[in-house]
Structure 1
Amino acid sequence: MNWLVDFFGDPAHWSGPYGIPVRLLEHLEFSALALFLATLVAVPLGLLIGHTGRGHLVVVVSANLARAIPTLGVLVLFVLLLGTASIWPVIIPLVLLAVPPILVNTFEGIRGVDPELRDAAYGMGLRGGQVLGQVLVPVALPLILLGLRLSAIQVVATTTVAAYTGLGGLGRFVIDGFATQDYASVFGGSVLIVLFALVVQVGFTLVQRVTVSPGVSRRLKVRDSGATSR
């Protein structure tokens, strides 16, 4: 408790180029950029593979990579290759970390849509792109958002490693605190990272409530309650 008071009660931590607001903004910028780039890659690819049924091996490989990829090792590799003059040695490993959950959940969401619903859409005269955009994506949206949420939380937590390359972010409090044995800074930085991840979690929950249609939400609740009763 004393560490919290020492860290958050110190006015120096709330102003200047190394204060909490600046570090928080840096952390947000790194995380948002990595998640944005991962979304640009993973969502269209997941939609395409899920809708056509072709290339599912890519999803399997991606899921396995998500478990095997050593983010810190990849970070060090890209730092050695690209140097520390830009943010890309940090962004690239974060994108590689964020792509698999988005890709897998997008694919599973599209493939998991009831085939009868898909057939009914074709029977109404809708074409491939219309079926995907007007029928499959709205039904699969909860799983797609789940993938985005999982990736966002992982990225926010892992962006801490940006401090290893000399870049900013909330990880600076943790890394610099360990280096100087300032454990109040280590503890305070860790708390900020956890709170940031919780805010992201709540944010995606609110987005899902706004964007997912009530009919799909009710259907998910019925399915989950049925699975629980079994």
Structure 2
Amino acid sequence: MNTRVNDEPAGGSLTDLAYLLLRDRLVMLEIKPGEPINEDRLRTEFNLGRTPIREALKRLEQERLVVAFPRRGTFATDVNISDLSHISEVRRTLEPLAAAAAAERATSEDRAGLTELRSQLDTATPSGDNTELLRTDVGVHRAIYRCVHNPFLEDTLISYDNLATRIWCVFLPRLSGMAGHVDEHGPLLTAIVEGDAEKASELATQHVVGFERAIRALI
């Protein structure tokens, strides 16, 4: 199965490209919390100019993924477990709302795409790689968010899912049952495809609550 975390910019700008590449490295902790952001290295690696990198970093700072200090530079933000309750509070409200909206608003094309994604989940070879499983989890969430057809809500959902995912990454080596967490998406996708807003909302709530419970069990 090949569910990618990052979304390729459809006709987007170089800043969009830089943003997406950097965002998902930060989300998956490939750039470690507290690590300095080396702009020169990123320009070489991404083959992009100074302006796209700097504009991307400004956006990422607004999303709490990097922090800039005068005369010191820009750094990946720390992951604070104390933020878990605040992030979960927002997600317990927004994720069920998004799932219900997706069930009601998804186009025929959207439903076909989610059906294909569900088939990929059903036929995927079981993996013991928690990092790959987490990438799949993120990819499914973003596919659902696109079906809401509200760009403001979609951006907010992605932002909070990113922050939650960073917490997941901290605990990945100690987490068990990650495959089961990802498998929960099958019934959720089915509910959205079938237009069952109430069921989709209920399943999304269970998913978010399960995330918080799994992390708290390790704290």
TM-score by length of 2: 0.29
TM-score by length of 1: 0.28
The structure carrying a bigger helix percent of its residues is 1
